[in-house]
Amino acid sequence: MTAAEGTIFFLPGLGFGAAAAEPIAEAIGDRLRVVGMDLPGQGQAPDAADGTVGAMVDAALTRIETESDGGPWLLVAHSMGGKVGALVAARVLSGRANVFGLAGAVLLAPSPPTPEPMDDDKRSEMLGWVENGSLSAADARTFLDQNVASPLDGTREQDALAQVQRTSPLSWRRWLDTGSREDVSDAVGVLDLPVVVLAGEDDADLGAAAQPHLLSGVYPRARFVSLPGTGHLLPYERPDEVAAEIVRLWNETVPVSPELSPEWGRLIASDRTPVETRGLLARRALADDPGHQPSALSSAQLTILRALADLLVPQPAGRRIDLAARIDADLASGSGDGWRPAGLPDDASAYRQGLDAIARVWPDSADDQKRLIRCILEGEPIGGAGGDADSDTDADLLKHWFEDLRTDLARTWVAHPATMARLGFDGFATSGAAAVPGYVNLGAGVRDPWEPAGLGHLKTEEADEAGGADDAREAGETA
């Protein structure tokens, strides 16, 4: 086993295979495992059954499902791979893939989910290159020259040319005729995950100037980075910059989010977990947006809610869920729990009023803050500038709203898959496609073979007595 913190799955652009990931992999080093992929007809891969983007997505997901260890991973996709990657992310985040752990995406001059803007003459020229079979050395060089801002160094250039020439003419034609023209934006929808889009300033239709227009509706959290003196072949032209952005996105998402062990990730990915649940857990596992712009609350209200969240449901330092931002999103969506204390307005208004009342008297020291919380819990007036905020009725209503707030925070924390694992709950992995969708062993201390090892011992081990010595054997039995 590698000691890597996680995995990068790399989807190359037209004309390139898994080998196109190598310069990036070299630049990243041992910290992350980079898995380059051959899409159908590229690299060593045979052609797909048809020329749809969906066929490429199937192939990519099959490989990701096989290679994934259940731990966190980023999707890195270049050009044509970007269109494939959008659908890959959409399927993963809706649970329609047996994989878990997607933390974000780094897109390199990606082809958008909508029909790719492409000059007709350019399309004809490129189609002409494969009329008589694979690309000739001269055509491959022309293709390369057209896509770089300045020549690649010798070894890399040779490597890139070899890959382009290895591409099957059918897959080349299919992309230009069909795949690039396909509109998959409905199937992709909006992908609200951490994303960085890199593009070259010397690229044409998929360059830095075009990308925000093409993708900001698809990836609301996208950060766009333009690379000067760069064409379209980012994996070869700018591997160091690409690697740096990958590591940066990794650092901004994975190590700051609650950790879920690969063993639990594999269980979520498995067929035991229903598709919808897998998608819900995938989305809840995504790191929160540090730049979350509140929609139901004001920035000041969000700030005080974050401070309350830290005290009411304290999380380990460093790896946290932004409970306040998630509640803001829930309030904006209008989801509630089916009731509210009589006398309180609708949930969002009650939150605004309650947070404003607390903000007026919020003290600086943690001890005073806790004292204030106890005061609210007791239904005592908390004072403050608000007109009749001192009345018993208001204190009582504040107390009732505060109970709703505390409940919302606790539920939001528990609903995160990492919290479920921490609490020892694997009930999400029931009601799925397994032949026996529920539990067999129900007693204290025991678990079913499919359950994570930390949840008990297998019945057959009872004679041996449970303990750390069993871990290795259990891992073998459940693999």
Partner 1 sequence: MKLQGMRTYDHDEIVDVVVIGTGAGGAPLLARLAQRGLRVVALEAGPNLDPEDFTNDEVEAPRINWMSERLSGGETPTAFGPNNSGFGVGGGTLHWGAFTPRPDIRDMRLHTGSDADAGADSGADWPIEHADLTRYIVKVERTIGVSGPTPYPWDAERTYLEPPVDRNAPADLMALGCSRLGIRATDAPAAILNHDREQPHHGPRRGSQNLGSIHQGERFGTKATTANTYLPAAVAAGAEIRPDSMVHGIERDALGRVTAVVYRRGGEEFRQRCAALVLAGGGIETPRLLLNTGLANSSGMVGRNFLAHGAVQVWGRFDEQIRGYRGYPSALISEDFVRPADASFVGGYLLQSLGVMPLTFATSLVRGAGLWGAELVDALDAWRYSAGIGINGECLPRENNRLVLSDERDEWGVPRAVVTFTQGPNEKAIDDHAAGTMTSILEAAGARETRVLPRTAHTLGTCRMSTDPGEGVVDGDGRSHDIPNLWISDNSTFPSSLSANPGLAQMALALRTADRMLA
What residues make contact with partner 1 under the rule CB under 8 A?
274, 276-277, 280, 311-314, 336-343, 346, 370, 373, 377, 400, 403, 406-407, 410-411, 413-415, 420, 422-425, 427-428, 430-431, 436-440, 442-445, 455-456
Spell out the SS3 assignment of 218-255: CCCCEEEEEECCCCCCHHHHCHHHHHHHHHHHHHHHCC
Three-state DSSP at 303 gives: helix
Q: How far is the CB of 214 from partner 1 (least distance, A)?
A: 32
Nearer CB in complex with partner 1: 95/231: 95
* Nearest in space to 127 (alpha carbons), one of 59, 178, 184, 182: 178
φ, ψ (nearest 5 deg) of residue 349: -65, -40
- Nearest approach, Cβ of 428 to partner 1 (angstroms)? 6
Q: By C-beta, is 124 or 407 nearer to partner 1? A: 407
Give the type of residue at 421: A
Nearer to partner 1, 143 or 428 (CB): 428
State the Cα–Cα distance between residues 348 and 97, nearest whole angstrom.
35
Nearest approach, Cβ of 407 to partner 1 (angstroms)? 5
For residue 457, what are the contacts with CB-CB under 8 A and spacing of at least 6? 445, 446, 447, 466, 470
Instruction: Report d(CA 439, CA 435) in Å as an integer.
Output: 11
Q: Could you give the CA distance from residue 119 to residue 205 in angstroms, rounded to a whole number?
A: 8
Residues 6+ apart with CB under 8 A from 183: 113, 114, 115
Between 29 and 445, CB nearer to partner 1: 445
State the nearest-atom distance from the C-beta of 274 to partner 1, in Å: 7
Asked if 438 contacts 431 with a C-beta cutoff of 8 angstroms, the reply is: yes
212 within 8 A of 187, measured Cβ to Cβ: no
Closest approach, Cβ 432 to partner 1, in A, equals 9
Nearer to partner 1, 169 or 274 (CB): 274
- Which pairs count as long-range contacts for 370-375, CB under 8 Å and 24+ apart, including other chains? 370/311, 373/308, 373/311, 373/312
- Residue 46 or 454 with smaller CB distance to partner 1: 454
- Cβ of residue 380: shortest distance to partner 1, in angstroms? 14
CA 356 to chain CA centroid, Å, is 34
- Cβ proximity to partner 1, 237 vs 426, nearer residue: 426
Nearest distance, CB of residue 455 and partner 1, angstroms? 6
Tell me how far apart the alpha carbons of residues 128 and 371 are, in angstroms, rounded to a whole number: 76
Minimum CB distance to partner 1 smaller for 359 or for 415 = 415
Check if the beta carbon of residue 11 is closer than 8 Å to that of residue 39: yes
In angstroms, give the least distance from the CB of 399 to partner 1: 10
**Residue type present at position 70:** G
Nearer to partner 1, 29 or 437 (CB): 437
Q: Which candidate, 161, 154, 153, 152, places its Cα nearest to that of 134?
A: 161
Q: Which is nearer to partner 1, 142 or 441 (CB)?
A: 441
Nearest approach in angstroms of CB 338 to partner 1 is 2
Rounded CA separation 450/439 (Å): 10
> Which amino acid appears at position 57 of this protein?
V
Q: How far is the CB of 425 from partner 1 (least distance, A)?
A: 5
**Shortest Cβ 142–partner 1 spacing (Å):** 52
Q: Is the Cβ of residue 46 or residue 345 nearer to partner 1 in the bound state?
A: 345
CA distances from 9 to 3, 17, 446 (A): 17, 12, 37
Place of tokens 């007595």: 465
